[in-house]
Amino acid sequence: MITIIKYTFKEMLKKRAFLLVSILSLLYLSIYAFGLSRIFEHPSNSIYDIIFQSQILSAGLFFANFIVAFLVLLTSVNAISGEIESGTIYSILSKPIKRYELVLGKFIGLGAMIVIYSSIMFLSVVGLNIFMGSKITFEASNILRGLFFFDLGPIVFLALIIASSSIFSTVNTGIISIMAYGIALVGGVLEQIGAAMQQSQVGAFGLKSGESLINAGILTSLILPTDVIYRKMTAELLTQSSGISFMTQGPFGGMSQPSIYMFIYIFFYVVFLLYYGAKRFSQRDL
């Protein structure tokens, strides 16, 4: 399995998609840095400034997260299916290795690269905010916890892609992954709106509609929990040890936080996907 991990990692570095996303990321970070430099040009100490700055940070992380998801999809969609479609798999699986080793090896190899890339993106966005003079005080523990959840989302998405790629064709995996990611994103937005409606308490009608939107969001999180992890990340990053929360980040932030049960679900979600993908792949005729 170590061989598969090593060569998957190498392959990803050599892929054109990786180069493309890297250029795109640099471009994004440059534009974001330019934007921040203008925003932080005239500092003030008003509370509105802090709220505004938390929104800017959250927007930066939201789009960085989006670019990471883009990279995960581009580099992993054909991880297994591409090997089958091209025929390179014949010379690999006729060797004395088990099929699950290929699935897990691909997952770990791609996962390692994605964690490195995702961490660079996260630390760059947060670092740029600190460097430009953000009023939000970041503690190391906030940053570390935020980083953990920022990296966890793409890993969960990767598990879905790898499982799908082990069972279906590249095209079908692409469709399944994009649809699942889109549903999770829309569901997440609906859940936020629901939570906002409940908080503003716009009468009994508002409360009921809010609740159904939250439920819809929870349901979509079960399909792909990337959005829920993203919201946990913003909460961890922006809730200070003093108890002060800067979680008022507009459309890119989180009004409602996922429960511990959701994280237990996420753990089993990843394990099940990898187990099921490897099992189905082992039963496949190649």
Partner 1 sequence: MVLETQNLTKQFNGKGGFKEVTLSVEKGQVFGFLGPNGAGKSTFVKTMVGLLHPTSGFAWILGKPIGTVESREKVGFLPENFRYHDWMTGKELLSFHAELYKIKNPGKKIDELLELVKLKGHESKLIKNYSKGMQQRIGIVIALLNDPEIVFLDEPTSALDPVGRIEVREIIKQLKSQGKTVFLNSHLLSEVEMVCDEVAIINHGRIIAEGKLEELLKEHTHVEMIVSDYTSELIEEISRLSKEFQFKEGKLSFKVEDKEKIPIIAKMIIEAGAKLYQLNTQTSSLEDLFINLIGKDEVS
Chain residues in the site for partner 1 (CB under 8 A)? 3, 6-7, 11, 14-15, 86-98, 283, 285-286
Long-range contact pairs involving 8-14 (C-beta distance under 8 Å, separation at least 24): 8/79, 8/105, 8/106, 8/108, 8/109, 8/110, 9/109, 9/110, 9/112, 9/113, 11/109, 12/75, 12/109, 12/110, 12/113, 13/113
The distance of closest approach from Cβ of residue 127 to partner 1 in the complex, given in angstroms and rounded to an integer, is 33
Residue number, 88 or 201, with CB nearest to partner 1: 88
Task: Tell me the C-alpha distance between 30 and 39, whole Å.
Answer: 14
Residue number, 149 or 281, with CB nearest to partner 1: 281
The distance of closest approach from Cβ of residue 176 to partner 1 in the complex, given in angstroms and rounded to an integer, is 25
Residue number, 49 or 101, with CB nearest to partner 1: 101
Residue number, 15 or 208, with CB nearest to partner 1: 15
Residue number, 45 or 94, with CB nearest to partner 1: 94
Give the H/E segment covering residue 115: helix 99-131
Task: Tell me the C-alpha distance between 72 and 86, whole Å.
Answer: 21
The distance of closest approach from Cβ of residue 254 to partner 1 in the complex, given in angstroms and rounded to an integer, is 40
The distance of closest approach from Cβ of residue 115 to partner 1 in the complex, given in angstroms and rounded to an integer, is 22
The distance of closest approach from Cβ of residue 166 to partner 1 in the complex, given in angstroms and rounded to an integer, is 15
Number of Cβ atoms within 10 Å of the Cβ of 230? 27
